[in-house]
């Protein structure tokens, strides 16, 4: 059995968010990421795999393909045995407790994937994304998150409306903020990280109770900013190290 024309068309269409939403499906590739998804609550629709990939799912969901066919449908430089179509799960209800990370319009899929992995590592309870943040089922996000996508509840909501109602303390990174190394950070709260080019939007800034800063140690003081994923890493580490 090889890939049908309709399957090929479906796979190609899933690079676009509107078709992911229409079909309620997303793509994951490679042995590691696919196995993490198979071992999670996520539901598999179809697996396209070469004959050296082994797994325990029912035969009707498996399409055996040649390496040449896998290469045709893969967006990886080096396709790795399997490409899977998985169902996009329903969004869980927002719990609004613990340490929450909120993203104000993150654009880069690699950054979002890295941030999802960080949320998993640091036990962030929920990830809240503004509606303009890149889709977490974008294929590059799925690959960069390395399976952490299955362990972090992610919500796409109107961030401004949410922050205007929350009772949790809110934090943004700002060069004029309090030195994070000297701040007493709470166990529960919302850390908001901004867009790669524009930072936090003015509407969101108005709603924030605390500004914190990562001190800069370089002598020249010319480094303008840290990459958003590395800044998120440092700040999540600071929130967690006290507990």
Decide if residue 23 touches a copy of itself (CB under 8 A).
Answer: no
Among 23, 64, 94, 122, binds a copy of itself (CB under 8 A): 122
Taking the complex as a whole, how short is the minimal distance between the CB of residue 190 and a copy of itself, in angstroms?
Answer: 17
Among 55, 94, 110, 210, binds a copy of itself (CB under 8 A): 110
Q: How far, in Å, CA of 30 to CA of 18, rounded?
A: 24
Taking the complex as a whole, how short is the minimal distance between the CB of residue 224 and a copy of itself, in angstroms?
Answer: 7
Estimate to the nearest angstrom the gap between the alpha carbon of 212 and the chain centroid: 23
In sequence order, the 6+-apart residues with CB closer than 8 A to the CB of 20 are 14, 26, 88, 135, 137
Decide if residue 187 touches a copy of itself (CB under 8 A).
Answer: no
Residues 123-162: x where in contact with a copy of itself by CB under 8 A, - otherwise, as a string:
x----------------------xxx--x-----------
Q: How far, in Å, CA of 208 to CA of 205, rounded?
A: 5
CB 70 within 8 A of CB 210: no
CB 138 within 8 A of CB 17: yes
For a copy of itself, the closer CB: 10 or 236: 236
In sequence order, the 6+-apart residues with CB closer than 8 A to the CB of 236 are 99, 101, 118, 119, 121, 122, 124, 191
Among 5, 31, 120, 172, binds a copy of itself (CB under 8 A): 120
List of residues contacting a copy of itself (CB under 8 A):
36, 110, 114, 117-118, 120-123, 146-148, 151, 181, 214-220, 222-224, 226-227, 229-234, 237-238, 240-241
């Amino acid at each position: 059995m090889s890939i049908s024309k309709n399957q090929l068309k479906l796979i190609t269409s899933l690079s676009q968010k509107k078709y992911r939403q229409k079909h309620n499906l997303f793509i994951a590739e490679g042995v590691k990421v696919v196995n993490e998804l198979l071992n999670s609550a996520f539901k598999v629709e179809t697996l396209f795999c070469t004959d050296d990939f082994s797994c325990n799912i029912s035969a009707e969901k498996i399409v055996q393909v040649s390496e040449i066919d896998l290469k045709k449908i893969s967006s990886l430089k080096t396709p790795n045995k399997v490409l899977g179509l998985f169902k996009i799960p329903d969004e869980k209800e927002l719990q609004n407790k613990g340490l929450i990370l909120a993203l104000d319009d993150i654009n880069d899929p690699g950054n979002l994937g890295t941030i999802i992995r960080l949320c998993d590592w640091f036990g962030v309870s929920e990830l809240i994304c503004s509606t303009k943040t890149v889709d977490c089922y974008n294929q590059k996000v799925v690959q960069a998150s390395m399976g952490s996508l299955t362990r972090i509840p992610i919500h796409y909501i109107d961030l401004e409306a949410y922050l205007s109602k929350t009772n949790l303390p809110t934090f943004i990174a700002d060069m004029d903020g309090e030195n994070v190394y000297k701040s007493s950070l709470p166990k529960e709260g919302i850390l908001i990280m901004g867009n790669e080019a524009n930072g936090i939007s003015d509407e969101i800034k108005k709603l924030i109770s605390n500004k914190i800063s990562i001190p800069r140690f370089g002598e020249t003081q010319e480094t303008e900013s840290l990459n958003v994923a590395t800044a998120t890493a440092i700040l999540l580490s600071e929130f967690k190290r006290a507990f």
